[in-house]
Structure 1
Amino acid sequence: MSVSVTPLFPPPFPISPGQVVFDRTEMDRIMGLYGRMVAAGHWRDYALDFGQEAAVFSAFPRASDRPEAQVVKRPALRRAQGQWALIGEAGAVLKRGHDLAGVLAPLERRLMKLVET
């Protein structure tokens, strides 16, 4: 009996030329944050959208809600404002930049707890 394992990356669907996707290191960073937010009870579901202009990771507090946060990668803005953006629940841009870690910083701060010494 042989067991076949299908890798999750690269995606099982074909990527069309010009389609924007997250690379492995970007997905590792985003999914690491997502896992910590799930463990803290903030998020319960996520969605990925890969288009011709942008790749979007959306995080939801419940499956039926609007996304609480969206991480957007828009390579066309790489030289201008930066290709990364953090979009809030109301659709406002909370943070924009050239570095994914800097854009995720406001979400990372939600996970920090004050430790009494």
Structure 2
Amino acid sequence: MTYQSPTPLAGRGDAERVAFHRTELAPILSLYGRMVAAGEWRDYGISSLRDVAVFSIFRRTAEHPLYRIEKRPRLRGRQGQYAVIGMDGRILKRGGDLRTVLRVLERKMIRAVE
């Protein structure tokens, strides 16, 4: 008798996918929670792809994301593996430290609350 995985995608290269670790999601979700409380953001989505993990932030569910927080491990040695990208595709901040990169969105929160 052979073991069959309970998930249909197991064994199909999931180990090759990039994903956010729990320690990376904590500061992202903390910022997200503060922005939801301020009434700025309403929904999010997480994608784990082969080369990139993406945390998308939406004002409304049916819209394009306001911001995308991307993790690209291949850029770790060059520009930094984390990036915040705006709705228009512009890179707002890039670097190797996630908390530093997220500060660009915290500044927007300060403006939204004032």
* TM-score between both structures, scaled by the size of structure 2: 0.84
- The correspondence of residues 69-88 of structure 1 with structure 2, limited to 5 A, is 69-88=67-86
Matched residue, 1:37:
35
1:100 aligned to 95, 98, 104, which one? Answer: 98
Which residue number in structure 1 is paired with residue 63 of structure 2? 65
- SS of residue paired to 1:79: coil
Q: Distance in 2 between matches of 1:58 and 1:38?
A: 14
Q: Which amino acid aligns with 2:88?
A: A
RMSD (Å) for aligned C-alpha atoms: 1.4
The separation in 2 between residues aligned to 1:27 and 1:45, in whole angstroms, is 15
> What is the deviation of 1:109?
1.2
How much has 1:18 moved relative to structure 2?
A: 1.5
- In the alignment, structure 1 segments of 5+ residues that lack a partner are 1-12
Percent identity of paired positions between Structure 1 and Structure 2? 49
**Structure 1 length-normalised TM:** 0.81
| Bigger Cα displacement from structure 2, 17-26 vs 50-59 | 17-26
Secondary structure in 2 matching 1:87: strand
Q: Secondary structure at the match of 1:37?
A: helix
Aligned length: 101
Quick check: 1:19 aligned with 2:17?
yes
Higher helix proportion, which one?
A: 2
